[in-house]
């Protein structure tokens, strides 16, 4: 794996794969964090007088009609705003063809071109998402060097990451490097290694749980995930239980009876504290309770490494946010290196202004996949 800083990019046409997959609502970019996270590598290349051809996906594009809401044009304006004054930042509404090629031919060293959403190539036969080799070869033909810095897509092998790399000298940018370094303590953990996993659906995370249970000393559960484990023993009332995952959950519990730690109390819909072994048919548990938090604090304080994913309760509603907030605060105070990953984990940390963690990963699915497998699929 080559690092961008060890490659000769000077005056080269560099194809840079970024993750500029921002959320756009009513024509507005909700958060420009992904764009900001990409700037270090872009600026480095500009300082090296490279011609920087940026590619990214945005949302899902299955039909012609999807194009309108998934154009990178808004991102182009934002990029123009964020790059140093006077930088030439071109826009290509085309993902292939003579117009795109002549725009690139006109670029001068130290200029940028943002190409329209790579997934526009998904309309006829999912060429981008299915890693079509003709498309990858074509995109590769537009540059001299390929740099991948789209950490959020590293779990996928698409034409614009895995594909292009097959046809050009290639390396990884600073964002991917930062993620690999930040996540290192979870890949090679110091023990005791405590994992705290919560969230809504077990099915999304069961493979990750199986992988991580091989490595961790304790897995503390919260959210709907915990309900499905507790449902093997207790009546969970109206709480969110994934019936289809009960068999797999049972297997995990049989394999690791001492590692898996479950909530013993919770907060129901009417904000009552309820012991998990005494729920009524009407109870819908939406947060972990105080006894559970106290118990989890013991594990958090003895850990050397913590990985935190998901939200222990429905933190979007302040009435059910105290579990999520307490766990975050306990981790921030604990002596362990705490690594946080996952979309809602990150959003909840932002909501409660938690900053004192060892590392907060920017990836959602990509982070979880990497932690489970120890591999970045797109680089394989």
Q: Please give the residue ranges that form the binding site for ligand ADP (CB under 6 A).
A: 198-200, 223-224, 240, 285-286, 309-311, 313-314, 316, 342-345, 364
Asked whether position 223 contacts Mg ion by CB under 5 A, the answer is no
Asked whether position 343 contacts Mg ion by CB under 5 A, the answer is yes
161 binds, among Mg ion, ligand ADP, none (CB under 5 to 8 A by kind): none
Distance CA 16, CA 172 (A): 9
Among 300, 305, 322, smallest CA distance to 313 is for 322
Tokens of 304: 């050397």
173 binds, among Mg ion, ligand ADP, none (CB under 5 to 8 A by kind): none
121 binds, among Mg ion, ligand ADP, none (CB under 5 to 8 A by kind): none
Nearer to ligand ADP, 303 or 308 (CB): 308
160 binds, among Mg ion, ligand ADP, none (CB under 5 to 8 A by kind): none
Q: Are 299 and 305 in contact (CB under 8 A)?
A: no
For residue 31, what are the contacts with CB-CB under 8 A and spacing of at least 6? 22, 23
The CB-of-287 to Mg ion minimum distance in angstroms stands at 16
Distance CA 355, CA 332 (A): 8
What is the total residue count of the chain? 380
The CB-of-349 to ligand ADP minimum distance in angstroms stands at 10
Distances (CA, A) of 207 to 132, 211, 252, 305, 352: 28, 6, 10, 21, 29
The CB-of-11 to ligand ADP minimum distance in angstroms stands at 42
Nearer to ligand ADP, 169 or 364 (CB): 364
For residue 332, what are the contacts with CB-CB under 8 A and spacing of at least 6? 338, 354, 355, 356, 357
> Site for Mg ion (CB under 5 A): which residue of 121, 122, 287, 344?
344
Nearer to ligand ADP, 49 or 264 (CB): 264
Nearer to ligand ADP, 143 or 313 (CB): 313
DSSP secondary structure string, 163-210?
Answer: IHHTTS-EEE-HHHHHHHHHHHHHHSPPSSEEEEE--S-STTTHHHHH
Asked whether position 341 contacts Mg ion by CB under 5 A, the answer is no
Positions that interact with Mg ion (CB under 5 A):
343-344
């Amino acid at each position: 794996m080559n690092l961008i800083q060890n490659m000769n990019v000077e005056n080269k046409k560099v194809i840079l794969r970024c993750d500029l997959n921002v959320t756009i609502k009513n024509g507005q970019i909700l958060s420009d964090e992904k764009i900001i996270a990409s700037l270090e590598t872009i600026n480095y290349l500009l300082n090296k007088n490279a011609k920087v051809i940026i590619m990214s996906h945005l949302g899902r594009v299955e039909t012609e009609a999807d194009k309108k809401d998934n154009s990178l044009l808004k991102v182009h304006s934002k990029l123009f705003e964020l790059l140093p004054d006077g930088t030439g930042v071109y826009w290509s509404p085309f993902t292939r063809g003579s117009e795109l090629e002549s725009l690139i031919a006109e670029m001068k060293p130290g200029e940028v071109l943002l190409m329209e959403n790579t997934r526009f190539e998904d309309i006829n036969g999912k060429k981008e998402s299915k890693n079509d080799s003709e498309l990858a070869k074509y995109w590769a033909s537009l540059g001299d060097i390929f740099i991948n810095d789209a950490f959020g897509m590293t779990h996928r092998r698409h034409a614009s990451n895995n594909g292009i790399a097959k046809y050009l000298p290639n390396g990884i940018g600073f964002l991917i490097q930062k993620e690999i370094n930040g996540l290192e303590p979870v890949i090679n953990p110091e023990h005791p290694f405590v994992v705290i996993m919560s969230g809504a659906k077990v099915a999304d995370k069961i493979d990750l749980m199986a992988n991580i249970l091989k490595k961790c000393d304790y897995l503390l559960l919260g959210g709907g995930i915990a309900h499905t484990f507790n449902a093997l023993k207790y009546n969970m009332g109206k709480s969110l239980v994934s019936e289809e995952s009960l068999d797999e959950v049972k297997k995990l519990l049989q394999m690791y009876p001492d590692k898996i730690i479950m909530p013993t109390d919770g907060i129901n819909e009417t904000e009552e504290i309820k012991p998990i072994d005494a729920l009524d048919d009407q109870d819908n548990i939406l947060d972990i309770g105080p006894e559970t938090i106290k118990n989890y604090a013991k594990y958090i304080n003895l850990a050397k490494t913590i990985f935190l994913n998901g939200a222990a309760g429905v933190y979007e509603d302040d009435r059910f946010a105290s579990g999520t907030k307490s766990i975050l605060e306990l981790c921030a105070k604990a002596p362990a290196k705490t690594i946080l990953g996952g979309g809602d984990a990150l959003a909840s940390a932002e909501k409660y202004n938690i900053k004192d963690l060892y590392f907060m990963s920017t990836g959602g699915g990509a982070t979880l996949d990497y932690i489970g497998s120890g591999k970045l699929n797109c680089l394989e």
